[in-house]
Structure 1
Amino acid sequence: MTIQVLGIDPRSRSKNKLQAPAPLPHVSRRALARVRDRIEPPKSCHCCGGPVRLSDNSVIYNGRSYGDWPFVYRCTQCQAYIGLHPDTDLPLGLMADRATTNARKHSKAPFQRLLVSRFGGDRSRAYAWLAEVLGISRSICHFGMFTKEQAERAGEICRLELGGLV
């Protein structure tokens, strides 16, 4: 799968009134401008090709909403999902099934430890390093963009860098 990074959303500079797609209460120009490496909202599922619906994340968490911006793109077939950047309709990355979600969560912990211990909390430097080691563009080097295999590889690299302690 090829990921096309589109840069800042042109709606952030538009004079026209922004229409938020249901069920979003609004979309903020300022929030749109903060997303530098945006990707298009999914029209079909990245996992199975099924139809995608924008919903409250309560559909995932047994009727309870979580977060200040509790919205997701969710596949109606395989239930894969991805959250949204706050106050936007822009996805945080690629849709993920349960196995991919678990791989991302498991792999991000050693990255977070490395971020603090080796990069002094400098997220940009840490992701630049990880992108170089993985051989991918910095603009797509984020756990929300990783496939299951990429997440597992990133976690393995970070654990090795930490001396295998994680």
Structure 2
Amino acid sequence: MSTVTLKGTAFETVGSLPAVGSTAPAFELVKTDLSVVTLADYKGAKLVLNIFPSIDTPTCATSVRKFNESAAAFKGVNVICVSADLPFAVARFCGAEGIDNVDTGSSFRSTFGEDYGLNFSTGPLVGLLSRAVVVLDENGKVIYTEQVAETADEPNYEAALAVLA
């Protein structure tokens, strides 16, 4: 269990992020066309998981925009923006914003949040994902993690992208 805050009030998550050096837990997420995307679909490429509570909040939307801009600069790197939002909401946002350099995946019918230790277990965001970034190498090994301590804050983009160089 990890503790994060939302506007200074502490809340718990169901676990902790996978350790750097460990193999990332397999996952299944739902894309905007309602098809399933899995970790195995990205074998052979580095992968950034930009994880957040909801696309319809300012900080979450900013993280999607920033990773969308950054992703275009890296060859052999994919970014998946992961939330519990319904795929329809994510499709609406990405379409309106011109987001096309990142993939999206909804955890709404998977165990992603439990497997990565990120579901809120207390507080008003129970069932949503805590803000985090997980970077994987070409073989699915975890090479970077950050669980953002204050949910309203942005992740450290520079640190996450530095491990890709």
Band the TM-score falls in, shorter-chain normalisation = under 0.3
Structure number having the greater strand percentage: 2
Instruction: Give TM-score scaled by structure 1 length.
Output: 0.26
Higher-Rg structure is: 1
Q: TM-score, normalised by structure 2?
A: 0.26
Question: Which structure has more RCO (C-alpha within 8 Å, separation ≥ 6)?
Answer: 2
